[in-house]
Amino acid sequence: MNVFLKKWIHVLGILSIPIQGLIYVWIGKSIGPDVFHNYYWLDTQIPFIRWFIFPYISWMPLLYISFLYLAIVNRRVYFRTLIMYNSAVMACNLCFWFFATYVPRPIVESTDIAGYLVNFIYQSDAPYNCFPSIHCLTSYLLLMILKRDVVLPSYLRIFFKILLWLIIASTVFIKQHSILDVFGGILIAEIAYRAVHYVSAQYIKREKQVTESI
């Protein structure tokens, strides 16, 4: 049992995903009446397309699957990605708390499965906590990991790239976010990725210098 725990206890780091989610929900319920209307002319030109709800809701399962895969095949990349994810999402939560934003939503009267799912998301997720988009942040972060840190068969790489870009696009097509939210999420993902890689490279360099000096 101890051997099993030693081998797999690192997977428990994935529990940080629901913990961050609980913080997100709590902030959304705690926001007062003073929010910024985060919706501009360009956003009004983007049509509402309810069928984009399908890539949108694929985000959470994909996030868990990605972290589980990394935990199994590459522990070092897994820990780096976990640090990137948590530091970036905590930065987003601070933005939500100090700079609460609001994106208006359309009335969806469609009774098909796509319309039902959109209304379900609208009812379960308050129209706040918009800037920056965590959907876009994490999807773009996974795109960078996929491109630079993970080896996958070409067909899987293409599939996940398409799906992740569809998730990013879905945030504006189902009116969960504005264009500004998308770019904000991508920017924070870039900063988190570069910062963690820089710190990791400095640590490896220092360890190498200590080893060579012995």
Residue 107's pLDDT is 92
Report if residue 44 sits inside a domain: no
pLDDT, tens only, 94-111? 999 988 898 999 999 888
Report if residue 42 sits inside a domain: no
Separation between Cα atoms, residue 205 and residue 208, nearest integer Å:
5
Count of domains in the chain? 1
Nearest to 134 by CA among 198, 62, 206, 185: 185
Name the β-bridge partners of 36: 101
pLDDT, tens only, 22-62? 999 899 888 766 788 888 889 999 999 999 999 999 999 99
Q: Provide the 3-class DSSP secondary structure of residue 141.
A: helix
Higher pLDDT, 36 or 67: 67
Token digits of residue 176: 């969960």
Calculate mean pLDDT across residues 15-28.
92
pLDDT, tens only, 121-165? 999 988 888 999 999 999 999 999 999 888 888 999 999 999 999
Residue 213's pLDDT is 66
Instruction: Calculate what percentage of the chain has a pLDDT beyond 70.
Output: 93
Report if residue 110 sits inside a domain: yes
**Residue 95 sits in which domain range?**
50-213
Instruction: Calculate what percentage of the chain has a pLDDT beyond 90.
Output: 66
User: How many other C-beta atoms are found inside a 10 Å radius of the C-beta of residue 52?
Assistant: 21
Report if residue 59 sits inside a domain: yes
pLDDT, tens only, 180-195? 999 999 999 999 999 9
The strand pair at 101-102 and 36-37 is best described as parallel
Please, are residues 99 and 131 in contact by the beta-carbon 8 Å criterion?
Answer: yes
pLDDT band for 205, please (50, 70, 90 cuts). Answer: confident
Please, are residues 183 and 43 in contact by the beta-carbon 8 Å criterion?
Answer: no
Token digits of residue 112: 């098909």
Residue 116's pLDDT is 95
**Which residue's entry shows tokens 């970036």?**
88
Q: What is the DSSP letter of 18?
A: H
Report if residue 14 sits inside a domain: no
Please, are residues 179 and 53 in contact by the beta-carbon 8 Å criterion?
Answer: no
Residue 161's pLDDT is 96
